[in-house]
Amino acid sequence: MEAVSIKANLPARPAYKASKYIVPNQQVPCEMIQRPRPLVAGNWKMNGTRSSSHSWAKYMSRLAATKVLGCDIAVSPPAPLLDLVARALGATTTIALCGQDCAPQDKGAHTGDISAAMLAEVGCRYVLVGHSERRNSHGETSTLVKAKASMALAYGLIPIICVGETQAERDAGRAISVVRAQISRSLPERTTELDVVIAYEPVWAIGTGRVPLPAEICEMHDSIRELLIRRMNKRADVIPLLYGGSVGAMNAEEIMSLQNVDGALVGGASLKDEEFWGICVTCDNLKSDSSGNMK
Ligand code: PEP
């Protein structure tokens, strides 16, 4: 059977909106700069049942239908639950589906793997690649992550490329260089500013309740933005840079109010529908004005 590109069937990406962006500590607004459209993505990892997924999706779709947010929302259930969640969210939902991983090959003898084509066919807009649980537990290298991201792009999916340093790397003062190297090696050559999201997730912050200091997040996100601009020029201003690692209702506002933090990748807290919706509303309040323009 030939691999068929089903890009045309994917839901359209929301348009980016420009807005005047005032650089903190500067007196005057700088010229019109494109701001990324913020994104809050929930990663359920290997959690969820048919019943819990159904009620989560019904809760979220009800709220998303009554309040249109100026940020995108995505959810990443385990693969066997994707179709159920898609159906429960409904055809007109604004909540996007996201795969948790995809294979670097497009089909064939790869038992246990899931192809980008399959994710696209079930209605995914995004796919996580390079999550630290895959880099560390499955020995995935940035070269492999790049191959997976390339396959995602080939099927019209937006890869959310996850990067982050370990505690030992941070302690050794290597956090920035490790993350920059991961990004440089994981980004496919043909990536444009419209088809990629980067998630900075320090390994030591995932599922631990520990988060970096605001200054450490800012330093890392500024460095990532600088690297992307160096590689793709000014257009990289619109690439959403998500922070992930123990984000919850208690710290979402502090984290997402930081400059160059364009949303969050949320693990454990995304399983709790009410808390996840609250994080999405916080993102909307912080990042978009009443007309839906990016702040
Ligand atoms: C994640 O799995 O990507 C994550 C950030 O997990 P948690 O929010 O639970 O730390």
Mutate to test the pocket of ligand 1, among 39, 40, 43 (most ligand atoms within 8 A of CB): 43
Are 220 and 255 within 8 A, CB to CB? Answer: no
- Close Cβ partners of 193 (under 8 Å, ≥ 6 residues apart): 228, 232, 235, 236, 237, 238, 239
Structural domains in the chain (count): 1
Query: Which of the residues 133, 165, 193, 201 is marked catalytic?
Result: 201
Is residue 72, in this structure, part of any structural domain at all?
yes
Are 73 and 64 within 8 A, CB to CB? Answer: yes
Whether 130 has a pLDDT exceeding 60, the answer reads: yes
Looking at residue 294, the DSSP 8-state letter turns out to be B
Nearest 5°: phi and psi at 30?
A: -80, 175
For residue 118, give the CATH number of its domain.
Answer: 3.20.20.70
Is residue 66, in this structure, part of any structural domain at all?
yes
Is residue 52, in this structure, part of any structural domain at all?
yes
Is residue 162, in this structure, part of any structural domain at all?
yes
Is residue 11, in this structure, part of any structural domain at all?
no
Is residue 157, in this structure, part of any structural domain at all?
yes
The per-residue DSSP string of 119-166 comes to HHHHTEEEEEES-HHHHHHS---HHHHHHHHHHHHHTT-EEEEEE---
pLDDT at 234: 83
Q: What is the mean pLDDT of residues 194-206?
A: 97
Ligand 1 atom nearest to 246, measured from its CA:
10
Give tens-digit pLDDT for 39-62.
999 999 999 999 999 999 999 999
Whether 31 has a pLDDT exceeding 50, the answer reads: no
- Amino acid identity of residue 160, one-letter, is I
Give tens-digit pLDDT for 229-277.
999 988 899 999 999 999 999 999 999 999 999 999 999 999 999 999 9
Is residue 239, in this structure, part of any structural domain at all?
yes
Is residue 8, in this structure, part of any structural domain at all?
no
136 lies in which domain range? 38-286
Give tens-digit pLDDT for 180-198.
999 999 999 988 888 999 9
In short, whether 202's Cβ falls inside 6 Å of ligand 1 is: no
- Count the neighbouring beta carbons within 10 Å of the beta carbon of residue 66: 7
In short, whether 29's Cβ falls inside 6 Å of ligand 1 is: no
Distances (CA, A) of 147 to 19, 103, 115, 135: 34, 8, 12, 14
Is the pLDDT higher at 2 or at 223?
223
Is the pLDDT higher at 220 or at 5?
220
Per the annotation, the verdict on 131 as an active-site residue is: yes
Distance 49 CA to ligand 1 centre (A): 19
- Most distant CA pair in the chain: distance in Å? 61
Confidence band (pLDDT; 50, 70, 90) for 33? low
Whether 12 has a pLDDT exceeding 90, the answer reads: no
